[in-house]
Structure 1
Amino acid sequence: MNYNESELKSWLDSCLKKNLLEIRVTLVGHSAKGDGYMGDIFFVHVDGKAPHGGPQTLDVAVKCSKDSDVLRKFSPMKIFFRNEKYFYERVFPTFVQFQTNRGVKNAFGGVPKCYGTLSGDRDVLVFENLAKRGFQLWDRKRPMTRGHVELVLREYAKFHAISGALQDQEAEKFGELVGHYDIFRDLGRGENPMVDALKNAIDEMGDLLKNELEEWVLDKWRKLKNDCETIFQDLMSFQGFKVVTHGDCWNNNFLFYCDERNNPIKVSIIDWQISRLASPILDLSHFIFSCTSENDLNDLTNILEYYHKCFSDFLTQMGSSENLYPKTQFFEDWKKLSKFGIMLTSIVMKICTAEMEEAPDLAKSAENGDLKVFQFEVGNKKLLRQRMRAIVRCASQNELI
């Protein structure tokens, strides 16, 4: 990871000008290979002067597109960063104002503060460094506890419900906000390179689970490979209940704050680069199948009902009817669309169970002209097999594949 202090200071001068003057920067850390971010992240301590007073400090996380001309040429980095900037500059402030106007208690606010953004050769977003407030990642190699799972589901329920209430009560405003909020349209609706990656990973997981599950279950899993294009087409053409989604719901995009007994009491959701208007089932299926334990997968119906109750309660708190998205429709959509999250686990579980040195290096792969970044070996086959076995069994038992 290339680090240029003068360039970093220049970015922060621009993004923090409302908060700090005459700044001095000290690099205190950076993201590591295997963290899974679509850019570089620098953690920086900033000393300066408050606009109307004495000395002041800030601890920030600086997210920027990778310093690679080849990577920018071969991947849609600018589109991803532009999408995330739009979320922080337009979507989230609108959601905050809507909740404020309705006097909502325990409002959704589970995203880090964004101090500013820049566009140029390298796109930049500057956030508060939540680690300095005690927020931590959950170990990606372990399924989350039920407490972590319910905390995330509650925040997703609030976040999705804001879309429902806003489009119910201020349809024109919501339409203007999300009318063009479709990153897949911006990326182009032609050939999807992710489909080939998923097909390869589905085959790989099928081979990994040979002799671990009944053959008829594995046959259902392998048939997902033939359904990849259809599943993506169904998602793109879906005309049912839609909300603004997070889009990237794996372990490393949740930061938790715990009490003295290590119980999670707050969560902050990060990385909104592929946020878009879509069914909330996409966020739910991605998160549930990527992050929950075998015990919780065996309790899938109760987990889904917990989300829907939180969603309905928050809808009514904002002044809309829970009938905007009835439970029957919610479960019908789950049956239709949850294959999305199930498919993704064939790739996500490899990243979750890989050692740092095994994980793919996106920039290096692009510079070498090799874009098959997810075809890598995981050393801990036992852990990968254990996680995937529970997922495939759950999907089969619930007739989702």
Structure 2
Amino acid sequence: MGNTHVVKCALKKVLITDENVTAALKNAEGQDAQLVSWSIKDFPTNGENYTHVVTSVEVKYLINGEESTTSFVVKLGIPQPTVPLHDSIHFAFVKEAQVYEELIPLLNTEMTSLGLKPLRVPKCYHASCETEKEVIYLQDLRLCGFQIYNRQEVFDKAHTTLVLKELAKLHASSLLLQVTDGYEDLEAKFSILYKDCFDITKEAMQLSKIILNRYIEKTLAVLRDIGNYEKAVDWLENLKHRGFELMMKQLKYNTRFAVVCHGDCWNNNMLFRYDAIGNPAEVMLINLDLFRQASLAIDLKMFFYHSLSYDDREANLEYYLDTYYASFKNVMEAGGLAMPFTRQELVDEYESKHLYACFWAMAYLPTLVSANEDPCDETPSNESPEPAKTENVLISSDSITAHTYWEKPLTQERKDNFVRKFKRNSEIMSRFLSLFDRFEEEDSEED
């Protein structure tokens, strides 16, 4: 592993402290809880990338003289080497903390006051957004029987139905908040809903353009290699230098469809609890750092294009949209509110957001073929860090080289390597190509 891995290991030892473990413990178990000890327990699968680290902390504590144990999921920010990356990652942590600590409680108050179940998201027990010391302590949902779905596999109908019902609750709850509590403009109340980590500054947007163009170049390499996608290739070639602007244009919304969206709605950001015979019984939405006000179709289109197979999406689209619409309507009726759109208007809005979902799918789906690889370590290092140095790695911007990954030219050799890896996974390739299989019938929204 390279230098990035060394810094990640050191981060856990530096940023997870007695102080913030104690703060999380007392918020979770009560002020009488007394910390005895804690230890870091990494997940069996990779929970890391070049922007943050996710691990867990097992805690022993005393309460009323008796020893108990619990655990937390901990998300840590990685110091970044450039201003755009630093600003983007810091903003993502600020947003997620505010969503957990301020917005979700308000939305849940609306739901529970009507006798409806609260939104299915983990509890947040402590958050600190101090620059280069970002840390969030969350409920460890494994203790409640939840588990992550294999993100390399598509959802079946049962999982999809559960997610759509929960998404509808989230979306509709934000309309309740606007009407009943007078928050007519949620973006004015919560400025974090107006921006994302990729568009907070001009520099961040420029970096986002570079990254999106890189994904488009890789997509073009795949399509050219497969063949028979000439129109899709022409389309991407035509818009690759203005792809980011077109994607941002899709975030503009008709107020009738404006809701609080998850913003990163795919199977990597959902946990499930199963019943005794293995059927999905509950879903939890996680990773809330892309929450924003946008068209509800942004979440729906992303979810369908990232997490479902082409055949399932085509065969069951009407059923899925019916399920979503009915759940949304149930919340609105409980609050005494009329539906702001018809079933057919929902279909039309859904169809209008293809471009946004397509761009994100070009970024996400290829990562699944190298799920356990560090994006900054594209070429494995032959050098292993000395154990003694690992303890003393300076936790600062100078220790990370993530930005060089995007600065390296996308050579033909790297494109060929990407295509080879991608073609080895037929299921993910099929999901990816389905974005373009009916290209001639899709509205590209390029004008």
Q: Give the C-alpha shift of residue 349 in structure 1.
A: 0.7
Q: In the superposition, relative to structure 1, how do residues 396 and 89 fare at CA in structure 2: closer, same or farther (>3 Å)?
A: farther
User: Secondary structure, in 3 states, of the residue corresponding to 1:331?
Assistant: helix
Partner AA of 2:401 in structure 1: E
Q: Give the C-alpha shift of residue 373 in structure 1.
A: 8.5
Partner of 1:164: 175
Q: In the superposition, relative to structure 1, how do residues 224 and 315 fare at CA in structure 2: closer, same or farther (>3 Å)?
A: farther
User: Secondary structure, in 3 states, of the residue corresponding to 1:81?
Assistant: helix
Alpha-carbon distance in structure 2 between the residues aligned to 1:359 and 1:147: 33
Match of 1:354 among 359, 365, 370: 370
Deviates more, 1:150-159 or 1:256-265: 256-265
Q: Is the 8 A contact 1:15 1:118 kept in 2?
A: no
TM-score by length of 2: 0.79
Alpha-carbon distance in structure 1 between the residues aligned to 2:279 and 2:50: 26
Alpha-carbon distance in structure 2 between the residues aligned to 1:236 and 1:332: 16
Deviates more, 1:273-282 or 1:184-193: 184-193
Partner AA of 1:133 in structure 2: C
Q: Give the C-alpha shift of residue 341 in structure 1.
A: 0.8
Q: Is the 8 A contact 2:154 2:307 kept in 1?
A: yes
User: Secondary structure, in 3 states, of the residue corresponding to 2:103?
Assistant: helix
What are the within-5 Å matches in structure 2 for residues 53-64 of structure 1? Answer: 54-64=66-76
Q: In the superposition, relative to structure 1, how do residues 246 and 318 fare at CA in structure 2: closer, same or farther (>3 Å)?
A: same
Alpha-carbon distance in structure 2 between the residues aligned to 1:189 and 1:31: 38
Partner of 2:404: 370
Alpha-carbon distance in structure 2 between the residues aligned to 1:45 and 1:397: 52
Alpha-carbon distance in structure 1 between the residues aligned to 2:275 and 2:401: 44
Partner AA of 1:392 in structure 2: F
Query: Per chain length, whose mean CA-contact separation is higher, i.e. which structure has more relative contact order (CA < 8 Å, sep 6+)?
Result: 2
User: Secondary structure, in 3 states, of the residue corresponding to 1:244?
Assistant: strand
Deviations 1:5-41 (A, max 9, x none): 7943322112222423133102222485575584112
User: Secondary structure, in 3 states, of the residue corresponding to 1:172?
Assistant: coil
Aligned length: 396
Alpha-carbon distance in structure 2 between the residues aligned to 1:27 and 1:192: 37
Partner of 2:219: 205
Q: Is the 8 A contact 2:259 2:295 kept in 1?
A: yes
Alpha-carbon distance in structure 1 between the residues aligned to 2:299 and 2:230: 30
Partner AA of 2:263 in structure 1: G
User: Secondary structure, in 3 states, of the residue corresponding to 1:312?
Assistant: helix
Match of 1:316 among 316, 328, 333: 333
Match of 1:8 among 12, 17, 32: 17
Match of 1:188 among 186, 193, 201: 201
Q: In the superposition, relative to structure 1, how do residues 136 and 172 fare at CA in structure 2: closer, same or farther (>3 Å)?
A: closer
- The alignment status of 1:101 with 2:113, answered yes or no, reads yes
Partner of 1:219: 234
Q: Give the C-alpha shift of residue 290 in structure 1.
A: 0.8
Partner AA of 1:367 in structure 2: T
Alpha-carbon distance in structure 1 between the residues aligned to 2:50 and 2:319: 32
Cα-Cα RMSD = 3.1
Deviates more, 1:75-84 or 1:187-196: 187-196
Q: Give the C-alpha shift of residue 389 in structure 1.
A: 1.4
- The alignment status of 1:326 with 2:336, answered yes or no, reads no
User: Secondary structure, in 3 states, of the residue corresponding to 2:122?
Assistant: coil
Alpha-carbon distance in structure 1 between the residues aligned to 2:429 and 2:196: 32
Deviations 1:92-139 (A, max 9, x none): 0001111121222xx242111111212324111111211232211111
Q: Give the C-alpha shift of residue 292 in structure 1.
A: 0.6
Q: Is the 8 A contact 1:249 1:283 kept in 2?
A: yes
Deviations 1:358-389 (A, max 9, x none): 64569999525415189775424242432211
Structure 2, unpaired ranges of 5+: 1-8, 379-396
Alpha-carbon distance in structure 2 between the residues aligned to 1:352 and 1:256: 20
- The alignment status of 1:389 with 2:423, answered yes or no, reads no
Match of 1:279 among 266, 291, 295: 295
Alpha-carbon distance in structure 1 between the residues aligned to 2:246 and 2:322: 24
Q: In the superposition, relative to structure 1, how do residues 17 and 112 fare at CA in structure 2: closer, same or farther (>3 Å)?
A: same
Partner of 1:110: 120
Alpha-carbon distance in structure 1 between the residues aligned to 2:398 and 2:306: 26
Partner of 2:308: 292
Match of 2:81 among 62, 70, 76: 70
Q: Give the C-alpha shift of residue 155 in structure 1.
A: 0.8
Q: Give the C-alpha shift of residue 256 in structure 1.
A: 1.1
Deviations 1:254-297 (A, max 9, x none): 11111233221111111111211111111112211111112212
User: Secondary structure, in 3 states, of the residue corresponding to 2:81?
Assistant: helix
What are the within-5 Å matches in structure 2 for residues 24-35 of structure 1? Answer: 24-30=37-43, 33=46, 35=48
Q: Is the 8 A contact 1:26 1:46 kept in 2?
A: yes
Q: In the superposition, relative to structure 1, how do residues 237 and 217 fare at CA in structure 2: closer, same or farther (>3 Å)?
A: closer
Partner AA of 1:78 in structure 2: H
Q: Is the 8 A contact 1:31 1:42 kept in 2?
A: no
Alpha-carbon distance in structure 1 between the residues aligned to 2:400 and 2:259: 33
Partner of 2:57: 44
Q: Is the 8 A contact 1:61 1:129 kept in 2?
A: yes
Q: In the superposition, relative to structure 1, how do residues 248 and 361 fare at CA in structure 2: closer, same or farther (>3 Å)?
A: farther
- The alignment status of 1:134 with 2:141, answered yes or no, reads no
User: Secondary structure, in 3 states, of the residue corresponding to 1:70?
Assistant: coil
Alpha-carbon distance in structure 1 between the residues aligned to 2:232 and 2:92: 37
TM-score by length of 1: 0.87
User: Secondary structure, in 3 states, of the residue corresponding to 2:115?
Assistant: coil
User: Secondary structure, in 3 states, of the residue corresponding to 2:143?
Assistant: helix
Alpha-carbon distance in structure 2 between the residues aligned to 1:81 and 1:291: 25
Q: Is the 8 A contact 1:140 1:353 kept in 2?
A: no
Structure 1, unpaired ranges of 5+: none
Partner AA of 1:234 in structure 2: K
Deviations 1:294-336 (A, max 9, x none): 22122334433332232222222232112x1322332332233
Alpha-carbon distance in structure 2 between the residues aligned to 1:335 and 1:365: 44
Alpha-carbon distance in structure 2 between the residues aligned to 1:195 and 1:70: 18
Partner of 1:79: 91
